[in-house]
């Protein structure tokens, strides 16, 4: 990972190209995992908003050959060896049912979903929270041990965090090094599901 402190986006873009990652966002998940220890060998992972596949690549490395990754996106995604790709909209309840039926129990749900930006921040922020709520509900139904989601900070953020606290004992908010300096995105990291 590039040196100390928050770097310009270009250094992560260059590094991603050099190290064979499909997106600079891979370094956000590497940083989150370094600080929060999400993955273990053999885990099953659901990756929501997975295209082009940077997080999927990191998850596959972390869980090893005995693990499984299901990568979900509304967009078409080029195949990644070792991952099962599901294309659809997580706001669609039939598609969510398909996800649940396909994956079975999952150890970790990771979501880097971003809404299509409208340019109106409060609209985009509300959409980001709605997508994160869907991801949270899927992780609860799947009885995931840990859950990570990107959320835009704003009005509904603290209510969303309280909702995550209903289901998980440990909830932290991180801003990974590879996030752009000007970004309002943060990552909610929830561990130790309450039974």
Ligand X SMILES: C[S@@+](CC[C@H](N)C(=O)[O-])C[C@H]1O[C@@H](n2cnc3c(N)ncnc32)[C@H](O)[C@@H]1O
Q: How far apart are CA 182 and CA 164, in angstroms?
A: 25
- Token pair of 20 as six digits: 């064979």
- Taking the complex as a whole, how short is the minimal distance between the CB of residue 55 and ligand X, in angstroms? 4
Residue 135 contacts residue 147 (beta carbons within 8 Å): yes
Minimum distance of ligand X from residue 91's CB (angstroms): 5
Nearer to ligand X, 28 or 191 (CB): 28
22 binding ligand X? (CB under 6 A): yes
Q: Which of 10, 19, 89, 159 binds ligand X (CB under 6 A)?
A: 89
Residue 62 annotated as catalytic: no
176 binds ligand X (CB under 6 A): no
**Residue closer to ligand X, measured from CB, 22 or 62:** 22
Options 2, 9, 52, 82; binder of ligand X; rule CB under 6 A: 52
> Rule CB under 6 A: is residue 75 a binding residue for ligand X?
yes
Pick the catalytic residue: 28, 68, 150, 191?
A: 150
Q: Any idea which residue has 């603290």 for tokens?
A: 158
As a residue count, the chain comes to 195
Can you tell me which of 69, 113, 144, 190 binds ligand X, judged by CB under 6 A? 113
Choose which of 16, 23, 69, 188 interacts with ligand X (CB under 6 A): 23
For 7, other C-beta atoms within 10 Å of its C-beta total 17
d(CA 96, CA 98): 5
**Burial track 21-42 (b if 16+ CB lie within 10 A, e otherwise):** bbbbbbbbbbbbbeebebbeee
Nearer to ligand X, 47 or 156 (CB): 47
Q: What burial class does residue 194 get, using C-beta atoms within 10 Å of its C-beta: 0-12 exposed, 13-18 middle, 19+ buried?
A: exposed
By the rule CB under 6 A, 156 interacts with ligand X: no
Q: Which two tokens stand for residue 125?
A: 């922020």
Q: What is d(CA 28, CA 34) in angstroms, rounded to the nearest whole number?
A: 10
Q: Give the nearer residue to ligand X in terms of CB position, either 169 or 175.
A: 175
Binding site for ligand X (CB under 6 A): 22-23, 25-26, 49-55, 72-75, 89-91, 112-115, 131
Where in the sequence numbering do the catalytic residues fall?
150
């Amino acid at each position: 990972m590039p040196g100390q402190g928050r770097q310009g986006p270009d250094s992560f873009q260059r590094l991603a190209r050099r190290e064979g990652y499909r997106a600079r966002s891979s370094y956000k998940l590497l940083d989150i995992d370094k600080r929060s220890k999400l993955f273990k060998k053999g885990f099953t992972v659901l990756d929501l908003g997975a295209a082009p596949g940077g997080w999927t690549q990191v998850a596959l490395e972390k869980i090893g050959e005995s693990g499984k990754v299901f990568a979900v996106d509304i967009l078409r995604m080029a195949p990644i060896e070792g991952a099962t790709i599901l294309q659809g909209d997580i706001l669609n309840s039939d598609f969510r049912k398909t996800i649940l039926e396909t994956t079975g129990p999952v150890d970790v749900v990771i979501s880097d979903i971003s809404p299509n930006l409208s340019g109106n921040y409060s609209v985009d922020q509300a959409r980001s929270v709605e997508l994160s709520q869907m991801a949270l509900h899927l992780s609860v139904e799947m009885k995931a041990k840990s859950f990570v989601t990107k959320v835009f900070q704003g009005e509904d953020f603290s209510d969303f965090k309280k909702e995550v606290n209903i289901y998980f004992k440990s909830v932290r908010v991180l801003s990974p090094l590879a996030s752009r300096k000007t970004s309002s995105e943060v990552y909610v990291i929830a561990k130790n599901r309450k039974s």
